[in-house]
Chains A and B, each alone.
Chain A
Amino acid sequence: MDKRLIYLDNNATTKVDEKVVEAMLPYFSQEYANPGGMYDFAGRVGAKIKEAREAVKEFMGANNQKEIYFTGSGSEGANTAIRGFLNATPGKKHIITTKVEHPCVLNTYKDLEKSGHKVTYLGVDADGNINLRELETSVKPETALVSIMAANNETGIIFPYEKIAETVKQINPETKVFVDAVQAAGKIKMDFKNTKVDFAAISGHKFHAPKGIGALYVKGGTLFSPIITGGHQERGKRAGTENTASIIAMGKAAELAIDGLKEELTRVKKLRDKLEQNILKNVFNARLNSSTGNRVPNTTNIGFEYIEGELILLYLNELGICASSGSACTSGSLDPSHVLRAMGVPFTALHGSIRLSLSRYTTEEEIEYTCKVFPEITDKINKLSPFQKELAELKSIKEHHT
């Protein structure tokens, strides 16, 4: 039987666009030259990489191609920016970041703390926003780096990184700003040349390019040391033969993403809102884990009180719906989401929080089906819960209000 597949986990990864696959295919068995070669066969590949760099430059809003470095992943981009910059400026040891960063950033700082760096972790409010005043008072003369994500992977909440960069530079012009833009790429417009941001990392597979390719924006003139040393690739800042097919693929994906931004902000957002509103209306123990305000258009994070997230995911999976939870069990760690905890999501909903993330491939019909089955699934799981009294109370409150 052909099982239905409704993919609502696009913040984890996305489908590679068929046009992207088409663009990259020749670079495996036909145009397979090492772009460093001194012959036309290599030159052709080199020219395509240049085109791809141009597309990513446009996509990230860089000044010129020299500001774009290809990397192997978002994590590598983040590590290159953070470690590469700190290695190049060994004097200053203070870093400021937030408690809700992606693990690839947070764990890098945890690691750096071991080698004598001091890290300030800024908290967030219930809507997931940091306190700008707290940031201002945290920036010190010895602050080397301020690191903030453009959009949160679990909640979709957008951080005012442009404003944050301005503020930081006013207090300490020497302090550099790194933006983890992985979850913003393809969802909201990036224009780094018109900001004070020094570094920004993106990852191809979040915007319909393949996995294993990313890019790092480095504002012209910013010093950093390579973390992968070797050959002269990427102007000596990232050794290793270019992943030509994937670079070309990401270039194509970037082009398509620029064109797709409008659709994200209209059709995808409409579908997301429909899904969210339906669930909040029809599932009495559902609560939104962020304000509806400033979010990327494809993401929602909903907490289900008194039931557990993994079971919801397993039941969704039975119907072919792919979603994810920031909760304990799925990620292999036992701790509930550090993001939701930092936001103060009540413990009744902390273990039952689900992230649904859409893409331009999501259809109206898929959302309608998901809306239809969600209350059925939660009803089934509610019945298993030992918190019947609490659930009954929630239900009567909800009914009273509608």
Chain B
Amino acid sequence: MWEYSDKVTDLYKNPKNAGMIEDADAVGEAGSLTCGDMLKLYLKVDENGIIQDAKFQTFGCGSAVASSSILTEMIIGMHIDEARKITNKEIVEELGGLPPEKMHCSVMGHEALESAIANYYGETCISEKKEKVICQCFNVTEKVIKEQIKTNNLKTVEEVTEYTKAGGGCGHCKSAIEAILKEMKREQPTLTKTQQIIKVNKVIEKYISPELRQDSGDIELVDVDGNKIYIKFSGKCSACEKSQLTRNYVEKILKTHISEDIEVILV
């Protein structure tokens, strides 16, 4: 038995906005019969772009129905461009959580919404047909997998399966998912130098400076070069004989928050 939140239970028992809108201004679809869940989303949008009504039809399990239902409630009254910003994470939060294995239901809600909005703007829906399909069992594309890894900071193949279903069928694509995870992990640190400086500064501001200021000292970021971070102490810290210990502390904090291979150099 799944541990569904009260909200999920309530919504699959008494779904809100179930049905179709005959003269919908936009229709979106996600999933398929073969995949085991499918959602059709209908939107009625007024001249100002406000979603006046939303209805859904869902083929799927309890959490798929609940995700669809909550999504319609979330977007009614919203401007369509606002609705576009909704992520699957927010759907999950509104539901009071979903079991890990059911995360893909919220992703399906998000995909149907995207598809409906694309349909509203007459955009040629970047259809899955053009995309590289990774999971043949559930027809999950590389794009969807990458998006979910990014949004939800997924780290393992199991997590990807829970969010996208990819790999949950025959399991043939597990190595492909693994490769995507690896590739994205490699891509991650390719920040520009400015981005790196901002990132390091944020950590310094949040975690390090407040500590040093307590002892009437402070720290200044001089430069970032790859994994080498050049810093300078100011105030009392600059003359402190324990500055090497303070450096070690700074390095530890930066390692925790940014990357294990960071080296802090005192200038």
Cross-chain contact A334 with B57 (CB below 8 angstroms): no
**Are A334 and B62 CB-contacts (below 8 A) given A384-B18, A386-B57?**
no
Query: Which chain A residues in 298-319 approach chain B with CB under 8 Å?
Result: 306-311, 314, 318
Query: Which chain A residues in 349-402 approach chain B with CB under 8 Å?
Result: 350-351, 383-388
Q: Which of A40-48, A57-65, A236-244, A324-332 contacts B (4 or more CB under 8 A)?
A: A324-332
* Nearest-CB residue, chain A, relative to B34: A347
Q: Is A336 located at the chain interface by the 8 A CB criterion?
A: yes
Q: Which of B18, B39, B61, B64 has the most A CB atoms < 10 Å from its CB?
A: B61
Chain A residues with CB under 8 Å of B29's CB are 386
Cross-chain contact A314 with B36 (CB below 8 angstroms): no
Cross-chain contact B65 with A333 (CB below 8 angstroms): no
Looking at the complex, which one of A306, A307, A310, A334 makes contact with B169 (CB distance below 8 Å)?
A334
Cross-chain contact B137 with A335 (CB below 8 angstroms): yes
Cross-chain contact B36 with A329 (CB below 8 angstroms): yes
Cross-chain contact A388 with B168 (CB below 8 angstroms): no
* Nearest-CB residue, chain B, relative to A325: B61
What count of chain B residues pass the 8 Å CB interface test?
31
Looking at the complex, which one of B15, B36, B39 makes contact with A327 (CB distance below 8 Å)?
B36
From residue B192, how far is it (CB to closest CB) to chain A in Å? 40
From residue B111, how far is it (CB to closest CB) to chain A in Å? 14
Bound Cα distance A217, B161 (Å):
40
Chain B residues with CB under 8 Å of A328's CB are 36
**Are A306 and B62 CB-contacts (below 8 A) given A334-B168, A335-B137, A335-B169?**
no
Bound Cα distance A367, B60 (Å):
27
Chain B residues with CB under 8 Å of A350's CB are 36
**Are A386 and B58 CB-contacts (below 8 A) given A334-B101, A348-B33?**
yes
What count of chain A residues pass the 8 Å CB interface test?
26
* Nearest-CB residue, chain A, relative to B137: A335
Bound Cα distance A255, B90 (Å):
57
Cross-chain contact B60 with A308 (CB below 8 angstroms): yes
Chain B residues with CB under 8 Å of A387's CB are 33, 59
Bound Cα distance A351, B35 (Å):
9
Bound Cα distance A350, B165 (Å):
17
Cross-chain contact A311 with B138 (CB below 8 angstroms): no
Chain A residues with CB under 8 Å of B60's CB are 308, 310-311
Cross-chain contact B62 with A314 (CB below 8 angstroms): yes
Cross-chain contact A311 with B61 (CB below 8 angstroms): yes
Bound Cα distance A311, B58 (Å):
11
Q: Is B13 located at the chain interface by the 8 A CB criterion?
A: yes
Bound Cα distance A83, B57 (Å):
49
* Nearest-CB residue, chain A, relative to B138: A334
Chain B residues with CB under 8 Å of A307's CB are 59
Chain A residues with CB under 8 Å of B34's CB are 347
Q: Is B170 located at the chain interface by the 8 A CB criterion?
A: yes
From residue B13, how far is it (CB to closest CB) to chain A in Å? 7
Bound Cα distance A291, B119 (Å):
45
**Are A308 and B61 CB-contacts (below 8 A) given A335-B168, A384-B18?**
yes
From residue A33, how far is it (CB to closest CB) to chain B in Å? 39
From residue A43, how far is it (CB to closest CB) to chain B in Å? 45
Bound Cα distance A383, B14 (Å):
12
For B144-179 the 0/1 string (1 means CB < 8 A from A) is 000000000000000001000100111000000000
Beyond A306-B59, A332-B101, A334-B36: 19 further Cβ-contacts under 8 Å?
A306-B33, A308-B64, A311-B60, A314-B12, A329-B102, A334-B138, A334-B165, A335-B170, A336-B36, A347-B33, A350-B36, A351-B33, A351-B37, A351-B59, A383-B18, A384-B57, A386-B29, A386-B40, A388-B57
B interface residues with partner A (beta carbon < 8 Å): 12-13, 15, 18-20, 29, 33-34, 36-40, 57-62, 64-65, 101-102, 137-138, 161, 165, 168-170
Instruction: List 5 A-B pairs, Cβ < 8 Å.
Output: A306-B59, A329-B61, A351-B59, A388-B20, A388-B57
